Amino acid sequence: MEKTLNQKAWFLVLPVFLLVAFSAVIPLMTVVNYSLQDTFGNNKFFWAGLEWYTELLHSERLWSAFGRQIIFSAIILAIEVPLGVFVALNMPKKGVWASLSLVLMALPLLIPWNVVGTIWQIFGRVDIGLLGHTLAALGIDYNYTRDPLAAWVTIITMDVWHWTSLVALLSYAGLQSIPEAYYQAAKIDQASRWSVFWFIELPKMQGVLMIAILIRFMDSFMIYTEPFVVTGGGPGNATTFLSIDLVKMALGQFDLGPAAAFSLMYFLVVMLVSWVFYTVMTNLDKKAGY
């Protein structure tokens, strides 16, 4: 649709602008201020300069949390995106079964995140959980509170359980927009299942997959509640991701200065990634002719 130039439209946007400025700009300014100072409580601050940044940039703790975070996001993307696309390809196209599978698949998406944690905390326990009990009965040594590998497997399975449906539902929406004529043409050409996927379905899903990857990357990059409930970041620091570490520092130890410097660097990385994705997304939109 052709949009008209109208500077008065700013008045319509003003409430959003003010509200978001209040909830985003003021906190971010505060974070910048804190990150350069030291405090011993009582709102008394001392200039610390760039000390916290230098310290954090050389700290083992931050870099290992960052490394775990990257590995976690990479693993869940590598599982959830192909699995989600695969599920979407197998979803019924219309009718009662389509509605039913939509509703059932969306269920995990609507569960409060700490309840997701609680569900898997219970499900994985060897004494009372179905998964843990079954694994133990099969003779597999599995204990997510003691064994880092088991903790990782539990958290990744939980995330796959929680979010794969999102990728599937988005891909499904992309698939729905393919006209039936395309499939018929492919049938006449005796195209294989694989080439139908590669030349017809995948290009049509490109846009939605981009969004799905963006959202899954960002949300997994700031994951806090679910692993916090299941493992509390342990055993040791094995599942301490960036947000868990930051909250520990900011609200647990109330180290305002280092926590603020940490926050800012975290925020900058997020800004960079979401900008790159956003640019690619809008360029794709332009190509598609929106």
Partner 1 sequence: MGWMAWTLPTAIFFAVIGALLLIMSVLAIRYPETPRMGILRMETTRGDRLFITLLGSAFICLAWLGLVGENLWWALGICFVYALAVFRWV
Partner 2 sequence: MSISTAPRRPWINPKALVMIAYIVFLLLPIYWLINMSLKTNEEIISVFTIWPRHLTFANYKTILTDPAWYMGYVNSMIYVVQNVVISLAVALPAAYAFSRYRFMGDKHLFFWLLSNRMAPPAVFALPFFQLYSSIGLFDTHIAVALAHTLFNVPLAVWILEGFMRGVPKEIDETAYIDGYAFPRFFVRIFMPLIASGIGVAAFFCFMFSWVELLLSRTLTSIDAKPITAVMTRTVSASGMDWGVLAAAGVLTIVPGALVIYFVRNYIAKGFALGRV
Number of alpha carbons in the 13 Å side-chain half-sphere of residue 189: 13
To 10 degrees, what angle do helices 148-176 and 113-123 make?
130
Judged by CB under 8 A, the residue of 265, 270, 281, 284 near partner 1 is: 265
Angle between helices 113-123 and 130-137 (to 10 degrees): 30
- Our CB check for partner 2 shows the closer of 152 and 250 to be 250
Contact mark string toward partner 1, 214..253, x via CB under 8 A: ----------------------------------------
Q: Which of residues 148-177 bind partner 2 (CB under 8 A)?
A: 161, 165-166, 169-170, 172-174
Q: Residue 145 interacts with partner 1 (CB under 8 A)?
A: no
Q: Does 279 bind partner 1 (CB under 8 A)?
A: yes
DSSP class of 234: -
Cα 37 → chain centroid: 32
Give the residue with the Cβ less far from partner 1, 53 or 142: 53
Q: Which two tokens stand for residue 266?
A: 């975290």
Site for partner 2 contains 20 (CB under 8 A): yes
Interface with partner 1, residue 64, by CB under 8 A = no
Distance from C-alpha of 182 to C-alpha of 210, rounded to nearest angstrom: 23
Q: What residue type is assigned to position 113 of the chain?
A: W
Q: Single out the residue of 49, 18, 21 nearest to residue 35, CA to CA.
A: 49
Binding mask 32-61 for partner 1 (x = CB under 8 A): xxx-xx-x---x-x-x--x--xx--xx---
Decide whether 14 or 50 has the Cβ nearer to partner 1: 50
Which of partner 2, partner 1, none does residue 151 bind (CB under 5 to 8 Å by kind)?
A: none
The number of beta carbons lying within 10 Å of the beta carbon of residue 128 is 10
272 is an interface residue for partner 1 by CB under 8 A: yes
In angstroms, what is the minimal distance from the CB of 79 to partner 1?
A: 30
In the list partner 2, partner 1, none, the entry touching 145 (Cβ below 5 to 8 angstroms by class) is none
Beta bridge partners of 47: 37
Tokens representing residue 43 in the block: 């709102």
Binding segment (CB under 8 A) for partner 2, from list 48-56, 143-151, 195-203, 244-252 = 244-252
- Residue 188 binding partner 2, by CB under 8 A: no
| Residue among 273, 258, 186 nearest 222 (CA) | 273
Site for partner 2 in 51-80 (CB under 8 A): none
The closest of 219, 243, 220 to 233, measured between CA atoms, is: 243
CB 167 within 8 A of CB 55: no
197 binds partner 2 (CB under 8 A): no
Structure tokens at 196: 């139908």
Residues that bind partner 1 (CB under 8 A): 26, 29-30, 32-34, 36-37, 39, 43, 45, 47, 50, 53-54, 57-58, 265, 268, 271-272, 275, 279, 283
